[in-house]
């Protein structure tokens, strides 16, 4: 009995000691498949090199649903690690906004956006405002995370915000203009994401001075006018000094108002061909595609219906590459195939490919929206629609070109013609530019989120097994330890009773 009492008291003492130490030391074992709870090298480099303290004021409501409470817990754990690694340079506080009180006014004034969530209280469900945001500040500079989306790339949001306020001179990305390309105002989604780490500068080429040479990365999106040979020659000079290019090119265009698909020729496709990069004069069609709205008439009634349109392929096959990491699907309307036909001294990696049921149609085409597509219309698979070329592309310096066979995939447009693009479309463009421009490694974090595996999607038998395992395993381990300890003590007593025993 005495030994049992001593054992219990020792175990309780260890538990108390561990809890006391946990106030000063933070350790977390990450057993997740995607290492979601392991800070990246990029994050560690950013927070270890801070010149001034950073304050994180987190506005998280109390009494929130389980999935949101998990987000709050994960964010707090993340801040503890940031604080430890920065040696106290990153400090934080949590404020719980209460409706109608000063705390809520402070949250709203700071730019934190409330969302409506369903909360259970006394067996009743009610709607209430919930705050899940943070303000990151350094001196006079501050950045706001208006809402921490559950499962989103939490580390990227926090690390990029810290970098944005701590880095005084951001690198500049050149956005080529003057050949019918969209301006910064026509790509607001991509521009907002890029502005975290870069400044974007429109650059107009001229025949006297190569205005591209001051950039490390230049972006050329959807030109519609002929590009003069002198401007193409300046692209060669830019690559020769080790510059990197992101090119999204429309080789064809779809005119749905007249049901026609036509070719586009700007001269850029010929310049790319001289580098071994081929953008085919064709339309990609894919059985995995988006719908279009078609107006139909039946008798005196006119109605609209959604029909699959294979000329709007949905791409979900991606390479294991920083530019495509974490992407699930992109929509590439009126895309063309991309390939490499150059020498082996340079490396070409396909980044995005079509599904197992896809094909191509040469331009020009007639769009028959009433056509009934069959499997025979998709005889190909894994057609490349985006890739990256690395090597001595022009001159002796190593450079890179990321090429996309669709110029409009990340363009929103302006005015009444503006449209929202898929988040993965934007992520691919921004990831690509990060890969070409940023040496910090933050590109790896942009799509590092939490993949949910809810229990309600698990079979009942497996669910019951996990539940009982979670409950019984700790008890079983204690019993095994107790049996082992008892057997050890019995053997020790027997050994002591042996004649000639020496301790």
User: What band does 502 get if pLDDT is binned at 50, 70 and 90?
Assistant: low
Tracing tokens 């650059």 back to the chain, one arrives at 203
pLDDT for 451: 44
Q: Which residue has the tokens 């559950």?
A: 150
Q: Give the Cα separation of 108 and 117 in Å (integer).
A: 17
Q: Where are the alpha helices (DSSP H) in 331-422?
A: none
> For domain 172-445, which architecture applies?
3-Layer(aba) Sandwich (3.40)
Determine whether domain 27-166 maps to CATH 3.40.30.10.
yes
The 10s digit of each residue's pLDDT in 282-328 is 999 999 999 998 776 666 677 678 899 999 999 999 999 989 988 99
Using DSSP's 3-state secondary structure scheme, residue 77 falls into: helix
3-state secondary structure of 409: coil
Contact 163, 441 (CB under 8 A): no
Residue 273's pLDDT band (boundaries 50, 70, 90)? very high
Using an 8 Å Cβ cutoff, are 72 and 65 in contact?
A: no
What's residue 332's pLDDT?
Answer: 97
The predicted-structure confidence for 6-58, as pLDDT tens digits, reads as follows 655 666 666 556 555 554 444 454 444 445 556 777 788 888 888 899 999 99
Q: What would the pLDDT profile of 153-205 be if each residue is shown by its tens digit?
A: 788 889 888 988 887 778 899 999 999 999 999 999 999 889 878 999 999 99
Binned at pLDDT 50, 70 and 90, residue 461 comes out as low
Quote the DSSP letter at residue 415.
G
Using DSSP's 3-state secondary structure scheme, residue 186 falls into helix
Tell me the whole-structure pTM to 2 decimals.
Answer: 0.71
Measured distance CA(48)–CA(321) in Å, rounded = 27
Residue with tokens 């339309």: 283
pLDDT top residue among 143 and 152:
143
pLDDT band at 100 (very low <50, low <70, confident <90, very high): confident
Chain-centre distance for alpha carbon 470? 33
């Amino acid at each position: 009995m005495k030994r049992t009492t001593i054992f219990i008291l020792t175990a309780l003492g260890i538990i108390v000691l561990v809890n006391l130490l946990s106030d000063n030391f933070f350790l977390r074992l990450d057993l997740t498949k995607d290492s979601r709870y392991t800070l990246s090298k990029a994050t560690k480099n950013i927070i270890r090199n801070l010149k001034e303290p950073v304050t994180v004021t987190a506005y998280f409501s109390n009494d929130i649903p389980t999935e949101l409470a998990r987000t709050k817990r994960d964010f707090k754990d993340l801040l503890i690690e940031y604080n430890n690694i920065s040696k106290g340079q990153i400090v934080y506080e949590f404020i719980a906004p209460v409706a109608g009180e000063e705390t809520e006014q402070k949250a709203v004034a700071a730019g934190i956006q409330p969302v409506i969530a369903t909360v259970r209280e006394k067996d009743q469900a009610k709607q209430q405002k919930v705050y899940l945001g943070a303000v990151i500040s350094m001196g006079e500079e501050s950045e706001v995370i208006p809402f921490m989306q559950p499962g989103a790339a939490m580390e990227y949001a926090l690390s990029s915000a810290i970098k944005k306020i701590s880095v005084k001179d951001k690198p500049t990305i050149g956005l080529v203009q003057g050949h019918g390309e969209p301006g910064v105002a026509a790509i607001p989604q991509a521009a907002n994401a890029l502005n975290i780490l870069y400044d974007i500068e429109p650059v107009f080429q001229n025949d006297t001075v190569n205005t591209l040479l001051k950039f490390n990365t230049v972006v050329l999106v959807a030109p519609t006018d002929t590009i003069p040979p002198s401007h193409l020659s300046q692209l060669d000079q830019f690559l020769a000094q080790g510059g990197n290019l992101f090119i999204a090119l429309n080789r064809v265009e779809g005119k749905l108002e007249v049901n026609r698909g036509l070719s586009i020729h700007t001269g850029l496709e010929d310049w790319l061909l001289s580098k071994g990069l081929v953008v085919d004069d064709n339309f990609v069609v894919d059985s995995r595609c988006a719908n279009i709205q078609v107006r139909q008439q039946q008798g005196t009634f006119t109605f609209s219906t959604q029909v699959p349109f294979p000329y709007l392929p949905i791409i979900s096959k991606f390479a294991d590459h920083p530019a495509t990491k974490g992407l699930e699907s992109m929509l590439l309307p009126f895309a063309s195939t991309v390939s490499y036909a150059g020498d082996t001294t340079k490396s070409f990696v396909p980044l995005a490919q079509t599904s197992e049921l896809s094909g191509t149609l040469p331009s020009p085409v007639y769009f028959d929206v009433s056509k009934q597509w069959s499997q025979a219309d998709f005889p190909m698979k894994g057609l490349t629609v985006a890739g990256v070329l690395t090597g001595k592309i022009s001159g002796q310096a190593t450079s890179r070109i990321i090429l996309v066979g669709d110029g409009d995939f990340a363009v929103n447009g302006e005015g009444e013609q503006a449209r929202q693009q898929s988040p993965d479309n934007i992520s691919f463009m921004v990831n690509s530019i990060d890969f070409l421009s940023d040496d910090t490694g933050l590109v790896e974090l942009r799509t590092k989120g939490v993949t949910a595996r809810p229990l309600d999607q698990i079979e009942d038998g497996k669910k019951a097994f996990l539940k009982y395992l979670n409950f019984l395993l700790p008890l079983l381990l204690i019993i095994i330890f107790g049996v082992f300890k008892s057997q050890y003590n019995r053997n020790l007593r027997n050994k002591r009773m042996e004649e000639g025993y020496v301790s």
